[in-house]
A and B are shown apart, each in its own frame.
Chain A
């Protein structure tokens, strides 16, 4: 089992790719066949793609706080008039779609959590559309994201309650960036640099959900986490590296999470949850 990103990169260089290293480790840990493991991942991928479609068609959450932004983003994209890149905006639309489906009690695939499920799925959906990824490249994307996610989960955190939003959307954005690098022909080392670059920019991000619900600001943070994954991947593929090594960035993120006051860790006591509007909405929803 790789414990650090350094070990993961070394193993990936030996096995050919991060995805291959992850698949072989999974076979060892779960005793399942390669075929079953890949099938399981394809099933998760299918759930992600379906949630993108469902959210883009338009949904509304139980509380009414979120829903309907994915169709807006889709119409904007189809207008052909926009400022940033098309792939980035597709990832943004997809991320919004998945999290709006999550909020309306639809079926999603957590990655790494339900609250951050839109980021990697959104980026994968855009990459499938724009890069003609093969079936194998699509699951490799997810095995790569999962491999780096395991290191982050075991050395820092992927839970908003334990580490703030940097641990959820921050981790998801870094994982998606690393996976995007891999399916675009980047090296395992470049994927590792994407993890460092992505996590650094999310460091310190608090988890401050209005009324304690996985809606505001989660949906929009997923969108921006997905857009950051694209930019991060481009930076890593350009050969830009992090001065602070990836493993040290992960440990630092974990420490920031521990030092973060509990008001900023999913308790709905600080940040946006503690605004006049946030408080009013909480009262309206829960009485």
Chain B
């Protein structure tokens, strides 16, 4: 553990969450919610592939319930979480849990295949402790998306001015870019960029970014 990693008193006294485990429950709900937001609409069927510790203990820890709660847009402190499996069933979402035997890079790994008609996406998430998570793969793009930091996820065409244009556009609203990472996929020429910014209200700039010529799609996560 690197020194000085914890900075806020609420990293210690908090978060408020549904039990029983910050990594297996709160983290799982966050993963589900971020994947749902990246997917952009309510899926009609989801395959949930669980690896290592997630595969072994998902029932007892409520990891299954939390992942599905997240898919229904519930936060880790949503008291409806415990009833998420029934709520998903009532909403007509088909869910399959598939515990896998093969190893993964991280002990708490989940892969979700989300489908809505022809719209199909595959994402990987890991729960890294204390309710903190990372999305590590979106449709074959290796990424690092953490919950809790205001972030734009942008699908776009290759363009040498990408970083500068994004920075200048956000600067009009007084928003600063903290980190921007672009990744490539083997399947398509389209690029995926994860742009972390300094303000939770940065979502207001989404419209300005959407109309940029090289941008294909954009999601703001907060």
Instruction: Confirm or deny: A75 has a beta carbon within 8 angstroms of a beta carbon on chain B.
Output: no
Chain B nearest CB: distance from A89 CB in Å?
Answer: 23
Interface stretch of the complex, out of B56-64, B117-125, B142-150, B168-176: B56-64
| Most chain A CB neighbours (cut-off 10 Å) among B6, B13, B65 | B13
Chain A nearest CB: distance from B93 CB in Å?
Answer: 20
Asked if residues A154 and B82 are in contact (CB atoms below 8 Å), the reply is: no
| Most chain A CB neighbours (cut-off 10 Å) among B8, B19, B22 | B19
Instruction: Give the distance in Å from the alpha carbon of A114 to the alpha carbon of B79 in the complex.
Output: 16
Instruction: Confirm or deny: A91 has a beta carbon within 8 angstroms of a beta carbon on chain B.
Output: no
Instruction: Give the distance in Å from the alpha carbon of A213 to the alpha carbon of B58 in the complex.
Output: 10
Chain A nearest CB: distance from B135 CB in Å?
Answer: 21
Asked if residues B20 and A102 are in contact (CB atoms below 8 Å), the reply is: yes
Asked if residues B57 and A212 are in contact (CB atoms below 8 Å), the reply is: yes
Instruction: Confirm or deny: A104 has a beta carbon within 8 angstroms of a beta carbon on chain B.
Output: yes
Asked if residues A109 and B13 are in contact (CB atoms below 8 Å), the reply is: yes
Interface residues of A in 34-53 (CB under 8 A from B): 37, 40-41, 43-44, 47
Identity of the chain A residue whose Cβ is nearest the Cβ of B79 in the assembled complex:
A107
Interface string of B29-64 (1 = CB under 8 A from A): 000000000000000000000000100110111100
- Residues on B with C-beta less than 8 A from A111 are 12-14
Instruction: Confirm or deny: A146 has a beta carbon within 8 angstroms of a beta carbon on chain B.
Output: yes
Instruction: Confirm or deny: A83 has a beta carbon within 8 angstroms of a beta carbon on chain B.
Output: no
- How many A residues touch the partner, as a band? 35 or more
Instruction: Say yes or no: A105-B18 contact (C-beta < 8 A), given A3-B4, A147-B9, A155-B3.
Output: yes
Identity of the chain B residue whose Cβ is nearest the Cβ of A114 in the assembled complex:
B22
Asked if residues A106 and B19 are in contact (CB atoms below 8 Å), the reply is: yes
Chain B nearest CB: distance from A12 CB in Å?
Answer: 14
Asked if residues B9 and A26 are in contact (CB atoms below 8 Å), the reply is: yes
Asked if residues A154 and B5 are in contact (CB atoms below 8 Å), the reply is: yes
Interface string of A131-155 (1 = CB under 8 A from B): 0000000000011011101100111
Contact of B6 among A41, A150, A161, A175 (CB under 8 A): A150
Instruction: Confirm or deny: B16 has a beta carbon within 8 angstroms of a beta carbon on chain A.
Output: yes
Instruction: Confirm or deny: B70 has a beta carbon within 8 angstroms of a beta carbon on chain A.
Output: no
Asked if residues B16 and A108 are in contact (CB atoms below 8 Å), the reply is: yes
Chain B nearest CB: distance from A217 CB in Å?
Answer: 14
Instruction: Give the distance in Å from the alpha carbon of A37 to the alpha carbon of B14 in the complex.
Output: 13
Instruction: Confirm or deny: B81 has a beta carbon within 8 angstroms of a beta carbon on chain A.
Output: yes
Asked if residues B57 and A211 are in contact (CB atoms below 8 Å), the reply is: yes
Identity of the chain A residue whose Cβ is nearest the Cβ of B129 in the assembled complex:
A159
- Residues on A with C-beta less than 8 A from B13 are 41, 44, 109, 111-112, 120, 142-143, 145-146, 149
Identity of the chain A residue whose Cβ is nearest the Cβ of B82 in the assembled complex:
A105
- Residues on B with C-beta less than 8 A from A211 are 57, 60
Instruction: Say yes or no: A212-B7 contact (C-beta < 8 A), given A114-B20, A146-B12, A285-B59.
Output: no
Asked if residues B17 and A110 are in contact (CB atoms below 8 Å), the reply is: yes
- Residues on A with C-beta less than 8 A from B62 are 62, 105
Chain B nearest CB: distance from A11 CB in Å?
Answer: 14
Contact of B9 among A22, A155, A162 (CB under 8 A): A22
Instruction: Confirm or deny: A29 has a beta carbon within 8 angstroms of a beta carbon on chain B.
Output: yes
Chain B nearest CB: distance from A220 CB in Å?
Answer: 15
Asked if residues A104 and B19 are in contact (CB atoms below 8 Å), the reply is: yes
Asked if residues B81 and A114 are in contact (CB atoms below 8 Å), the reply is: no
Instruction: Confirm or deny: B26 has a beta carbon within 8 angstroms of a beta carbon on chain A.
Output: yes
Instruction: Confirm or deny: A115 has a beta carbon within 8 angstroms of a beta carbon on chain B.
Output: yes
- Residues on B with C-beta less than 8 A from A113 are 22, 130
Interface residues of B (CB under 8 A from A): 1, 3-23, 25-26, 53, 56-57, 59-62, 65, 77, 79, 81-82, 129-131
Besides A105-B81, A107-B79, A108-B19, 8 other CB < 8 A contacts?
A: A62-B59, A105-B19, A110-B17, A115-B22, A150-B7, A154-B5, A213-B57, A286-B56
Nearest 5 interchain pairs by C-beta? A102-B19, A149-B12, A146-B9, A214-B20, A153-B6
Interface residues of A (CB under 8 A from B): 1, 3, 22, 25-26, 29-30, 37, 40-41, 43-44, 47, 61-63, 101-115, 117, 120, 142-143, 145-147, 149-150, 153-155, 157-159, 161-162, 175, 211-215, 285-286
15 contacts between A and B (CB under 8 A): A41-B9, A44-B16, A103-B19, A105-B25, A109-B15, A109-B16, A110-B16, A111-B14, A114-B17, A115-B20, A120-B13, A154-B4, A157-B1, A159-B129, A214-B20
